Amino acid sequence: MGRRMILCVCLNPALQRTLAFNGLSLKRVNRAVSARHSAGGKGVNVSRVLTALGAEARLLLPLGGSRGREIRNLLGREGFSFKSVTVSGNSRICTTLIDAGSSSVTELVEESVPFSSAEVRSVQKAFDRLLPRARLVVLSGTAPAGFPADIYGRWVTMARKRGIPTLLDAAEPWARPGLEAKPWFFRANWVEMEAVLGRPAARTEAYAAMEAIRNIGARNVLISLDGPCAVADVEGRFSRLSGPRLKTVNPIGSGDAMAAGMAGAFIKKKPVSEILRAGMACGAANVLTPTAGTVRPADVRRLTPAVRILPR
């Protein structure tokens, strides 16, 4: 079977609840003006954006309990192509609080129930079956307790041996083993990059910091900065990226949307500049929607020409 799809892995999915308020105050009763439920998790967000953009994405995720059933139903209603692995623990729930009064967003994150060794093996077997069909693998987010810290490193290595590139979007302790396995692309924010390096990094040394990340093993690096900005080190060429400043509805999931934009452009064999521009446009489009990891294709098309790529 030919390689057609982008395999998106989400080891830590969530039932995402998004509550909107006109004003939010601690130690008081706060009544939401709207509530939304969606499937969440970084890999879920990547797959959702890719699907919205018309790419062939296949999502792999473990699901369990009543929340897992609800996530499965939500994925089906949204039109996801996915493979779920049943686990015994109830899938986690995460809550986003949007305060329109202060234009702020607060994220409440629940940890997953630890996985048994048998459950980890079941996820591994599902990955083994899906990998040969992939043109690109996107490994995003954290992993529940029970998975080895080098799980992404193992999967990057498996993919590389088959000639399949990987896009890694993970924080420590999963990031460094994944980097050492030499992924095609590593995406992170500044704080996550500092954690990988094990030291603070001044913005004035952005390019040296990215070079250090490349020396660990990543072929290409993109680091998100505050606001619609990023820096990139692609094939040893440094650049600074900027997107349009927009009125933010919900910024959660913008990094995932960015990863999806780059992945979608990559499999279309776009040049490097267009891969970076697509990522920035998708990250920007995400902030315009109330649900994390969601873009409207019309927004992406409108915002793409506004992305600027400047040399060092």
Q: What structural domains does the chain harbor?
A: 5-311 (3.40.1190.20)
Q: What is the pLDDT of residue 2?
A: 54
Q: What is the pLDDT of residue 286?
A: 96
pLDDT tens, position by position, 121-153: 999 999 999 999 999 999 999 999 999 999 999
d(CA 185, CA 170): 11
Q: In the predicted model, what is the mean pLDDT of residues 69-75?
A: 98
Q: In the predicted model, what is the mean pLDDT of residues 239-257?
A: 93
Backbone angles phi, psi at 81, to 5 degrees: -100, 115
- For residue 85, is pLDDT > 60? yes
Q: What is the pLDDT of residue 235?
A: 86
Q: What is the pLDDT of residue 137?
A: 98
pLDDT tens, position by position, 193-241: 999 999 999 988 999 999 999 999 999 999 999 878 999 999 889 999 9
% the chain with pLDDT above 70: 99
Q: What is the pLDDT of residue 43?
A: 98
Beta carbons of 261 and 281 less than 8 angstroms apart: yes
Q: What is the pLDDT of residue 239?
A: 94
% the chain with pLDDT above 90: 91
Q: In the predicted model, what is the mean pLDDT of residues 278-300?
A: 95
To which H or E segment does residue 213 belong? helix 206-216
Q: What is the pLDDT of residue 312?
A: 73
Q: What is the pLDDT of residue 4?
A: 79
Q: What is the pLDDT of residue 268?
A: 95
User: CA angle at residue 73 from 68 to 78, to 5 degrees?
Assistant: 125
Beta carbons of 312 and 240 less than 8 angstroms apart: yes
pLDDT tens, position by position, 9-42: 999 999 999 999 999 999 999 999 999 999 999 9
Nearest Cα residue to 81 out of 59, 62, 64: 59
pTM over 0.85: yes
User: CA angle at residue 64 from 41 to 76, to 5 degrees?
Assistant: 65
d(CA 292, CA 42): 9
pLDDT tens, position by position, 158-192: 999 999 999 999 999 999 999 999 999 999 999 99
**Average pLDDT over the chain, rounded to whole?**
95
